[in-house]
Chains A and B, each alone.
Chain A
Amino acid sequence: MAEPVLEIRDLVVHFPTDDGIVRAVDGVSVAVRAGETLGVVGESGSGKSVTFLTVMGLVTSRQARISGQVLYRGQDLLALPPGELRDVRGRRISMIFQDPMTSLHPFYRVGAQIAEAIRAHDRVPKEEANRRAVEMLERVGIPRPRERARQYPHEFSGGMRQRAMIAMALALNPDVLIADEPTTALDVTVQAQILDLINELKHEFNTSVVLITHDLGVVAEHCDDIMVMYAGKAVEIGRAEDIYYRPHHPYTWGLLSSIARLDQARERLEPIPGLPPSLINVPSGCAFHPRCRYAFDRCRTEVPALLPADGFHASACHLPLEEKERIAREEVVARGMSTSVEPTVTPPAEQATQPLVRLRGIKKYFPIRRGIIFQRHVGDVRAVDGVDLDVFPGETVGLVGETGCGKSTLARVITRLHDVTEGTVEFEGRDITRLKGEELRLIRRDMQMVFQDPYASLNPRKTVGSIIAEPFRLHRTVPKHRIADEVKQLMELVGLNPEHYNRYPYEFSGGQRQRIGVARALALRPKLIVCDEPVSALDVSIQAQILNLLEDLQQEFNLTYVFIAHDLSVVKHVSDRVAVMYLGKIVELAEGGALYEHPRHPYTGALLSAVPIPDPHLAATKRRILLEGDVPSPIDPPAGCRFHPRCPRSRALAREQGLETDHVPLCSQTEPELVPQGPSQLAACHFPLEDRRIVGESEA
């Protein structure tokens, strides 16, 4: 193991607020080793970001009470005067952030922003700094760097901006790069590109990396050491193998069993019960005890110390070591290891029944207009461009794809929140494409939506009771005097305390708010619920709770779900069939297991291979198909197969056949139809992938 370059000792960061002291970081000690990657995992409010913002001096003693030490090459950064700290910041230790869309200044050229970072520390002429900025952009894989350096951030895609941020952070060759959720805001294919880039540059520049994330998959693939944080404390620290194969802390166990995994058959998730703790009134003893299945008396009174088990691996839990080892072996890892593929859930007898929803030739174009008074129609955003899809009663159809593929638009078309440009929507055999007024209102009883952001989709000025009662009042399915009872029943059904009937949304956590959203959707006993990214705004442990709730409700009420998510693991977990969308079209439609076992469309293959797997060994052997570039504009989609400009397969075939073009002409000229590829699997590709597994396939 390498020497530490950065050592945090007993760091405490307390924010005084009107409600009390927020104990954001409460005694964290950890080391970042030279040339290695430290992963920091935890849910929101665990203190992971605050810890490293404090290291950077971005949380200052003006905002918070800080104690402890941050040693960088023997120097305590917390004791440095601001001027000297500024010298370290950006030059020796640099940081990139979660949202590349907002992290660059919108008014300055990208190259100039990088040059500014260089000139903040090195007294070099402007031209020299600009030249180095261009050089850095090239090194982070930005094509035409000279030209790009003169562009503004809004002319860059999300992935490109994050590359530019990395270029800025590494411009002065720092010893430590702190990456705070660097890929959370990005699509899975772009995430893979960025993580690989960070890893590559880490070796090239011999930089240590701190990777802060909530995603156990991301850390598994790229980290040497991992620190798991809970309520401002490190609860477990170890090498990556320790954390995944010999985890010692019940919270780590909980995290591992509550994530939906791509490499495992569909089985029930085991969520961590309860809610993340308040950082003002932290529970006594071990902060995790109220949510811990193994808690005993001592846990409630005595704060466990972070004690080493074997050499480096340490955990903060009162359970005896042997007990931890046993539970980890028998209950946690064993479960995770069951990668053998069981026969997947039998799909509902399809052709036998009539589909609940039948979409034919659906197109939804959003016109682009120009002009001040007289608006001219200059083009269309082809959000959905020719989709056929049947959804059968009682099944869950997953819709996946990158940002802008049209999945949310399609969902809104199904529920008639958008009018279609072309095509028909049938519900229970009835054409509802053009329904209006009263008839549309009646049909909406049978179809409801659950939205992504439980913070924005609930009216903050209404009580929870009246939010859930809204459908009853609109549709008058329940007599007035019975509404309150019904609402309370619903609340109980979705796991909310009916006594909280009169509370307002802000008094609830994200997971509870999503339960409110589910209750509202369920009120009219609909046949179909369209869930648009229902768990993507939630913490991992809470995601599992909501996913389980949705599954239980489906069984109880024989619900049909259309489930949209960008997280392929989550979609796989909940769906019977999955439709993969790319630029407004379905490119592959298959029963869940089959799709993940042997994807036929190269895009599906690439998507799946980009998903990080929370298993270091498996991740190390995984073959990754990296997609180049970004999704093209839906205003002017590529001719032929829409995917062909990014398609590694078409490119490889062209090379094999010795063609002069980059792609096989068939792909660049003819649009493939969605045709059967084996039993219950459809793919729109001229050269579908052979039978093979992407996940778990070794390099050899």
Chain B
Amino acid sequence: MLRYLVRRTLFMILVLWIVSVLTFVIFFKLPVRDPAQQIAGKGATAEVIANVRHQLGLDQPLLEQYRRFAKGLIPLPGFWLNEQVYYNWTNRVAVWEEMRRDFPYTAVLTFGAAVLWLAIGIPLGIISAIRRGSVWDRAGMVFALIGVSAPTFWLGFLFLWVFHYGLEMFPGSGIPPQESLWGSVLQGRFFLPWLTLAITSAAFYTRMVRGNLLETMSEDYIRTARAKGLSERAVTYRHGLRAALTPVVTMFGLDVGILLGGAVITETVFNIPGIGSYAIRSIFQFNFPGTMGVTVFAAFFIVVANLVVDVLYAYLDPRVRYE
């Protein structure tokens, strides 16, 4: 298992490196506009632009530029997103500083939504499966269909319209800068974003749990469990659900990993200053260090989530063993 972890970690580093190279190449070799000109602003003289270019190191050879950025990706103190290179090109604040400021918002958004979608998706899936064909099942499937088909931004605006503007139950979008994160949570500012993010996932989870459970309940070992004389409850929960939920763990881990790297659409719709918003801002402002930082950060969560899921899977399914 240890050997496996070591090798997986090496593999992760390789993946992150490839991501960083791709990000770099996309930014510098496929430029829409000259970043120096963009940052210098409209009507800047050639001299100013050259000056900016020099300051940002954009006049150096490409390889040298890459070397500077790559150095900042080495996860050691002094290297890791060092401020000499990784600062926001528009306001000169360190990228690391900005990401540390924004990440808690994304984390709260993600975990709150995750709890919500598990709480909705799994029970609904179970009820739909064991009461197959009942009103519950049909209602669950209608919900799943709507949830899966509705685009996140549309759901976000719908909820704002109904619950904020209509019923005035929850605050609208935006988070006042002076308010603490916990203050915002207590104000209920996160409720609608959570709901928006949770509905789509919950719909997927409902379908998945239902499908898995139905499939599992027709397995031979379920027949064995019944033949032993176990109660239907024990058969469903101890034998059926145990096997049916294992793949859900995989999906859950990956979903959380992806969202921690920024829930772009939801953060934008509700104007939440999280990693997703920061990513969007960095891209539009031609802030390459920010873009690079966020990309690697997001990739890091996805790769780690993958590893966690794999290790967890070995624990959940005894047939899976890593060497």
Contact = CB atoms under 8 A, between A and B. Distances in A.
Contacts of B168: none
Contacts of A154: 318-319
A56 B221 contact: no
Interface in A94-117: 94-95, 97, 99, 102-107, 116-117
A87 B229 contact: yes
16 contacts: A82-B232, A87-B229, A89-B228, A89-B229, A90-B229, A90-B230, A94-B228, A97-B224, A97-B227, A99-B220, A102-B220, A103-B223, A117-B229, A165-B224, A371-B7, A372-B8
Interface residues of A, number: 32
A121 interface: yes
Interface residues of B, number: 27
A106 B228 contact: no
Residue from B8, B11, B229, B234 having most chain A Cβ neighbours under 10 A: B229
Contact of B316 (A99, A107, A117): A107
Contacts of A106: 221, 243, 317-319
Contact of B228 (A107, A116, A371, A373): A116
Nearest to A60: B226
Contacts of B246: 107
A107 B219 contact: no
Contacts of A105: 221, 224-225, 239, 242-243
B231 interface: yes
Nearest to A56: B227
Interface string B3-16: 00001100100100
A58 B218 CA distance: 12
Contacts of B225: 105
B179 interface: no
B47 interface: no
Contacts of A88: 229
Contact of B221 (A104, A121, A169, A371): A104
A168 interface: yes
Contacts of A121: 229
A371 B246 CA distance: 24
A370 B323 CA distance: 8
Nearest to A91: B229
A82 B7 CA distance: 53
A435 interface: no
Interface in A644-691: none
Given A103-B220, A106-B221, A372-B11, A95 B230 contact: no
Given A97-B223, A107-B316, A107-B317, A120 B243 contact: no
Contact of B230 (A104, A120, A165, A371): A120
A90 B228 contact: yes
A117 B8 CA distance: 40
Residue from A91, A107, A373 having most chain B Cβ neighbours under 10 A: A107
A116 B225 CA distance: 9
A154 B14 CA distance: 34
Contacts of B317: 106-107
A531 B157 CA distance: 65
A504 interface: no
Interface in B216-260: 219-221, 223-232, 234, 239, 242-243, 246
A501 interface: no
